[in-house]
Homo-oligomer: A and B are copies of this chain.
Amino acid sequence: MVTIRDVALKAKTSIATVSRVINNKPGFSEETKQKVQQAMKELDYETNEIARSLITNKTNTIGVIVPNIASMLTHDLLNGIENLSQSRKYSIIVCYTYSNHERTMEYLKTLKEKRVDGIIFTSENLTDKNIEYIKKINIPIVLLSTFSEKYKLPFVKVDDYQASYAAVEYLIGKGHKNIGMLSGDPNDKIAGEPRIKGYKDALKKHHLFSNEEHIVVGNNFSFEDGRTNLVTLLEKFPEMTAIFSASDEMAAGAIATAHEKKINIPEELSIIGYDNILVSQMVYPPLTTIEQPLYDMGYTAAEMLFQQIDEKELINKEVYLPFKIIERESVKVMDSL
């Protein structure tokens, strides 16, 4: 078997230098790099990552924990993470928890056993047990599109409260007074509770009537939730002229139901979504929605993770990225305006 020593001999340099080149560390000239790479090529030298990991104590792998593979949100986030990781020559282990806390725990243990260099924890609510384990294993972590009230952990997200407030205020600005909401779980501290609060506070600010009955709660922000829950919402709130949907997928479901029931959107019912995933362009009419900069969020989370890995120091940074309103055709300006 060809060893690193053989490569060093052939390239007429030291083993330490070859190791630097292989491990992408600074401290060699472009010329040296080329000589080493040439020698590796000629000798057909291939690094044994596992053996190297035991020496460098690094695996050049990060773990990404996401709740749901079927969510389209996940892809844009992963895309951002993946692009930076690829250029840093890191691999990603993607773990899907299906929002199951025990499965999350199992995956955290697996990632620890695999000695990943860092973890990005996405979208999900963390249990105390999860976080205590994370603290204990002492692996760099960044929370993405989630955060912890109780524990200080670095995170990247949009301000859900502000974004929801803005969405509802947008509807009010178009002359709507009877606004219902398709919501996620109110116990969800990330995408549930703050979005409901944003909705309520925007109504209150504009002296509009707010009623718990006007919020219908779904299971997981899904197309099916929207499809089913529009029916309930229409029954509870027949005067409604506009809806704030806490996800684009739910909005797409509501629009599908509206088509079935021959409710004309936006003429008879306006709707604003949340996320700006591709689906918002696919539905008809195209959906006005709140854009979360998902790719940038993923990329930023990866940056924060690599910073911790490189500097061998845990950081505690809180990053809020800006949302914006993408206007399409699902919201009508009320005649009274």
Contact = CB atoms under 8 A, between A and B. Distances in A.
A319 interface: no
Given A92-B93, A256-B281, A113 B47 contact: yes
Contacts of A47: 113
Given A46-B112, A91-B95, A91-B110, A284 B281 contact: no
Nearest to A49: B113
A283 B281 contact: no
Nearest to A285: B259
A174 B223 CA distance: 30
A103 to B, nearest CB: 8
Interface residues of A, number: 45
Nearest to A253: B282
A256 B286 contact: yes
A59 B69 contact: no
Interface string A104-120: 00000110111100000
A50 B112 CA distance: 10
Interface in A242-301: 252, 255-256, 259, 278-279, 281-286
Interface of A: 46-51, 53-54, 59, 61, 69-70, 72, 75-76, 78-79, 82, 86, 91-96, 103, 109-110, 112-115, 223, 252, 255-256, 259, 278-279, 281-286
